[in-house]
Structure 1
Amino acid sequence: MAPDMLAGLLFKALLQTLQMVAAAGLIGTLVGLPMGIFLATSGRGELFEAPLTNRIVGLVVNALRSTPFIILVVAIIPLTRFITGTSIGTIAAIVPLTISTIPFIARLIEAAIREVDKGLIEAARAMGATPVQIVMKVLLAEARPGITLALTLTVVSLIGYSAMVGAVGGGGLGDLGIRYGYQRFMPEVMLAVVVVLILLVQAVQSAGDALARRFDKRSRKN
């Protein structure tokens, strides 16, 4: 394949991948973040005590997380077609990517919030802070490094998942690698796709790590 043609295909596929990752990551965060906060604060004796609801939400999250992604993609084809009007292509791929991202983010956010020192919560309560104020000014503020790393991991995982949906016509770098690199026996295309994916993941991980260090009070003290 001519270098200029390969560059054009890579650029188009990269844009599709970024579109899928950005859309799924944004929607997943908007839903998964409050869900993670709820899971971390709604147990027995916690800020928003609702143990039964906590248990139900936890079961749903666990069920979605335990479903292999490629099976999820196929299983929700009717839903994908209902929402987007099609089951293939970049826009259609956003649906399963988002659904798989929401529980992933929720559990990571829950873990990050649970790492916050309980003494800070008790101190805020003693000063008369409301549960919402504790969440906003204590939990989220103290958990920022962990939340940043959680979202970074989410984006990295989404890049991998976006490549996987290429196997079912989802578009993006994965689709390019399968259609040209595998089906048409063009190893140079497959190699180029792998290199671009590695560089993309490295860039996201480095940016996330740097941002997390900036938010970490312990790093600033050192």
Structure 2
Amino acid sequence: MALNLDFSFLTSDVIRSNLLSTFEYSVQLTAVAAIGGTALGTLIALMRLSSVRWMQRVATVYVDLLRSIPLVMVILWFYLLIPQSFYSMIAGSFGENHRPEFAAVITFTFFEAAYYSEIMRAGIQSVPRGQSYAGYAVGMTYAQCMRLVVLPQAFRNMLPVLLTQTVVLFQDTSLVYAIGASDWLKGFQTVGNLFNRPAEMYLLAAVGYFVISFSLSMLVRRLQAKIQIIR
């Protein structure tokens, strides 16, 4: 049976404004979660590599727990279990109307930190120990050596993998539909329901996510090739 697709309604200005605003939110969510997740993930990675036993255990439990639970379930946890007063505290008067969006930011930041931490741990371990010994030899402390010598090299080594995980993060933002956040996929759904053309809009959503993710993946491959040449 033919699908009888009709895309003539796409000329409406309502569609462009709706998809643009929701796309901006998805990009913002990806950027904030990637930056926050990388920062928190680096801290967790350092805890896992620490000689302090309790730090290792706390970081290991955190990583293993979040990596073993479906993302959509974690989204629902943060949305349903964290009280409204918390969102009001961090977002002021915007907390009530934009609770799903703030819940998504918090969820993705903490969830992605578990994945970024493993990437950063591998990056730190890829730096030869001689680099650390050289830093200690010139009088650096452990913190200075990590900040000035080890971490910059670890970031460079793991940059392609970090960016690949960020592409996956952009795709995963579509899961915030579970709590009603206005992400890009929600924008497609809203337009599809408005014009009674859900099949066409979901098809366009798939094409949009594919084009963006594939293009970014190609850029990451080029970057990876350049980094390998530098090495």
Structure 2 Cα separation of the partners of residues 39 and 61 of structure 1: 10
Structure 1 residues 83 and 27: alpha-carbon distance in aligned structure 2, compared to 1, 3 A threshold? farther
Please tell me whether residue 165 in structure 1 is matched to residue 165 in structure 2. no
Q: TM-score, normalised by structure 1?
A: 0.80
Counterpart in the other structure of 2:3: none
* Equivalent of residue 196 in structure 1, options 208, 212, 229: 208
Please tell me whether residue 118 in structure 1 is matched to residue 129 in structure 2. yes
Structure 1 residues 92 and 56: alpha-carbon distance in aligned structure 2, compared to 1, 3 A threshold? closer
Counterpart in the other structure of 2:4: none
Structure 2 Cα separation of the partners of residues 194 and 81 of structure 1: 33
* Equivalent of residue 79 in structure 1, options 79, 82, 90: 82
Measured against aligned partners, the alpha-carbon deviations of 1:142-190 in whole angstroms (never above 9, x if no partner) come to 2233331232133112212211112331221222344555895522111
Counterpart in the other structure of 1:46: none
Structure 1 residues 213 and 155: alpha-carbon distance in aligned structure 2, compared to 1, 3 A threshold? same
% same residue: 19
TM-aligned CA deviation for residue 140 of structure 1: 1.7
Structure 2 Cα separation of the partners of residues 143 and 209 of structure 1: 18
Please tell me whether residue 4 in structure 1 is matched to residue 14 in structure 2. no
The amino acid of 1:27's aligned partner reads G
Structure 1 residues 209 and 129: alpha-carbon distance in aligned structure 2, compared to 1, 3 A threshold? farther
Structure 2 Cα separation of the partners of residues 140 and 210 of structure 1: 22
TM-aligned CA deviation for residue 75 of structure 1: 1.6
Counterpart in the other structure of 1:57: 59
* Equivalent of residue 198 in structure 2, options 183, 186, 203: 186
The amino acid of 1:220's aligned partner reads I
Equivalent residue pairs, number? 212
Structure 1 residues 15 and 140: alpha-carbon distance in aligned structure 2, compared to 1, 3 A threshold? same
Tell me, which stretches of 5 or more residues in structure 1 are unaligned?
Answer: 43-48
Q: Is the 8 A contact 2:123 2:154 kept in 1?
A: yes
Structure 1 residues 212 and 51: alpha-carbon distance in aligned structure 2, compared to 1, 3 A threshold? farther
Q: Is the 8 A contact 1:65 1:103 kept in 2?
A: yes
Structure 2 Cα separation of the partners of residues 80 and 115 of structure 1: 41
Counterpart in the other structure of 1:45: none
Structure 1 residues 129 and 210: alpha-carbon distance in aligned structure 2, compared to 1, 3 A threshold? farther
Counterpart in the other structure of 1:101: 112
Other structure's SS at 1:170 match:
coil
Structure 1 Cα separation of the partners of residues 155 and 37 of structure 2: 18
Q: Is the 8 A contact 2:76 2:178 kept in 1?
A: no
The RMSD of aligned alpha carbons is: 2.7
Other structure's SS at 2:82 match:
helix
Other structure's SS at 2:26 match:
helix
Q: Is the 8 A contact 2:25 2:182 kept in 1?
A: yes
Please tell me whether residue 21 in structure 1 is matched to residue 33 in structure 2. no
Counterpart in the other structure of 1:156: 167
Q: TM-score, normalised by structure 2?
A: 0.77
TM-aligned CA deviation for residue 74 of structure 1: 1.4
